[in-house]
Structure 1
Amino acid sequence: MVTLREATKEDLKTLLEFEQGVVTAERPYNPTLINGTIHYYDLVSLIESEDATLIVAEKDHEIVASGYAMIKKAEKDYFNFKEYSYLGFMYVKPEHRGQGINQSVIDRLIKWSEERGMKEIRLDVYDQNESAVKAYEKVGFEPVLLTMRLKK
């Protein structure tokens, strides 16, 4: 049985390991990432913020997954929303994948977002990460924009 809860500072060691798991998973899709340790997230701020929630999933008293939702201001004034909820840090330990844990985390983050009045929920995913794209589409997400690059 999997239980979901808000992360605490006591979870930081595991969450930092998960963060490197995310980086490792993304390296094949992004040749611009520098070598070595990368920190994408300010985990303490996510834990402490009123405008964010960082969720962990536990199974048999072990943290096996994570994800966050953060309320952000719309980047452009021509969008039909002023604020939206941004989801990130979706990670499930490899040995626990395929069990619906990520979907449970996403469902909780969507509920948290809706409880705060968010009608727009967004996330970023590498388009070549087909398994992640399919997982997000299964929950109802759809692609909006593809960023392209030219290296010279």
Structure 2
Amino acid sequence: MLVRKATPEDLPVLLQFEQGIINAERPFDSTLLPDPISYYNLEKFITMPDVEVLVAEIDGEIAGSGYARIKKNDNTYYDFEEYAYLGFMYVKPEHRGKGVNQAVIEELKNWVAQQGLAEIRLEVYSENTDAIKAYQKAGFEKRMVEMRIRL
């Protein structure tokens, strides 16, 4: 498996991955607008210095993706000024269970450490137990549960 920085040539596959993420998350969030929607500006992310977009290849095929984005901490009560936010984590169904997600996360952790940051955060729907298990396997811990009410 090869994990590498995404390029503009990868965009067609990455845009398909984005729709795969949206389709997987629709059952967890009734407030998502009808298709077509987009979560990310992937074309811009690929070129931004404070975002690292990675793809994992298996036998020359892009099998998975993820990004880390440096964000400013707006809360004065934490002991860090900036942190990395992980997103766009996707593995094609036929490649799940092969360590793709773990490989991408490890490379993103390396990039975050190279940026001098010590904090990585992500969001996952509480009902998405498979994703939660994968993130826990990579060392993430549950921190807080967001709650809401629709009026």
Give the TM interval when normalised to the shorter protein. Answer: over 0.9
RMSD (Å), alpha carbons: 0.8
Residue identity opposite 1:114 in structure 2:
A
Distance 1:126 1:150 in 2: 15
Distance 2:37 2:66 in 1: 18
Q: Which residue number corresponds to residue 79 of structure 2?
A: 80
Distance 1:150 1:116 in 2: 38
Residue identity opposite 1:78 in structure 2:
Y
Aligned residues: 151
Question: Residue 102 of structure 2 aligns to a residue in which SS?
Answer: helix
TM-score by length of 2: 0.97
Displacement after TM superposition at 1:45 (Å): 1.8
Q: Which residue number corresponds to residue 7 of structure 1?
A: 6
TM-score by length of 1: 0.96
Measured against aligned partners, the alpha-carbon deviations of 1:2-49 in whole angstroms (never above 9, x if no partner) come to 101100111111000000000001011111111112111111221111
Distance 1:64 1:47 in 2: 17
Measured against aligned partners, the alpha-carbon deviations of 1:96-117 in whole angstroms (never above 9, x if no partner) come to 0011110000000011001111
Q: Percent identity of the aligned residues?
A: 52
Q: Which residue number corresponds to residue 96 of structure 2?
A: 97
Q: Which residue number corresponds to residue 46 of structure 1?
A: 45
* Unaligned stretches of 5+ residues in structure 2: none
Q: Which residue number corresponds to residue 143 of structure 2?
A: 144
Distance 2:74 2:17 in 1: 28
Q: Which residue number corresponds to residue 132 of structure 2?
A: 133
Displacement after TM superposition at 1:75 (Å): 2.4
Q: Which residue number corresponds to residue 116 of structure 2?
A: 117
Displacement after TM superposition at 1:79 (Å): 1.2
Measured against aligned partners, the alpha-carbon deviations of 1:45-73 in whole angstroms (never above 9, x if no partner) come to 21111111100011111111000001110
Distance 2:74 2:31 in 1: 24
Distance 2:143 2:74 in 1: 15
Q: Which residue number corresponds to residue 30 of structure 1?
A: 29
Question: Residue 133 of structure 1 aligns to a residue in which SS?
Answer: helix
Distance 1:61 1:24 in 2: 25
Q: Which residue number corresponds to residue 108 of structure 1?
A: 107
Displacement after TM superposition at 1:76 (Å): 1.0
Distance 2:118 2:75 in 1: 16
Give structure 1 regions of 4+ aligned residues with deviation exceeding 2 angstroms. none
